[in-house]
Amino acid sequence: MTEEKIQWSRQEDVAFTWVHEGKEFSHRLITKKLHGSPMSFHITTYMPHFDVMVEGDGEHEVILYCLHGWSEQIVEATGETHHFKQGDAMYLPKNYRYRHIIGEAGLVVAVCATPSKEAGDM
């Protein structure tokens, strides 16, 4: 049996990963490699006015929680639009596709992914 241990992590203590160079980066705070966690926890930052199509990778389920800023999210298959703002949470299944348009204040989200995403993973 593996000993369970409480662990901490700070954003400034982990390297960040550019998801989209100059537009979106993520700090993988808790991961399987660093902490043995089956899920990962990240803080992801988007620059203002970034407009991108976002797609699931068929492997990870993801939950987003908006900490700062806002964005418009448009589900490609249905045309459904959501104004994502501070306090909103969003569940993403393994397969999805939506347009993500970041507002003028940028966007900062807390992210939980399972299985764990590591530093350098997109």
Per-residue pLDDT of the chain (122 residues), as tens digits, is: 456 889 999 999 998 999 999 999 999 999 999 999 999 999 999 999 999 999 999 999 999 999 999 999 999 999 999 999 999 999 999 999 999 999 999 999 999 999 998 877 75
Distance CA 89, CA 109 (A): 9
pLDDT of residue 117: 87
pLDDT of residue 122: 58
Residue 88 lies in a domain: yes
* Beta-carbon contacts of residue 61 (< 8 Å; ≥ 6 apart): 91, 92, 93, 94, 113, 114
* Other residues' Cβ atoms within 10 Å of the Cβ of residue 11: 11
* Beta-carbon contacts of residue 49 (< 8 Å; ≥ 6 apart): 101, 102, 103, 104
pLDDT of residue 1: 42
Residue 43 lies in a domain: no
Q: Tokens for 88, please give them.
A: 């909103």
Q: What is the CATH number of the domain that holds 64?
A: 2.60.120.10
User: Which residues span the domain enclosing 56?
Assistant: 49-117
Domain count for the chain: 1
Distance CA 44, CA 111 (A): 7
Q: State pTM to two decimals.
A: 0.90
- Grouping H, G, I as helix, E, B as strand and the rest as coil, residue 34 is helix
Residue 5 lies in a domain: no
Distance CA 11, CA 40 (A): 13
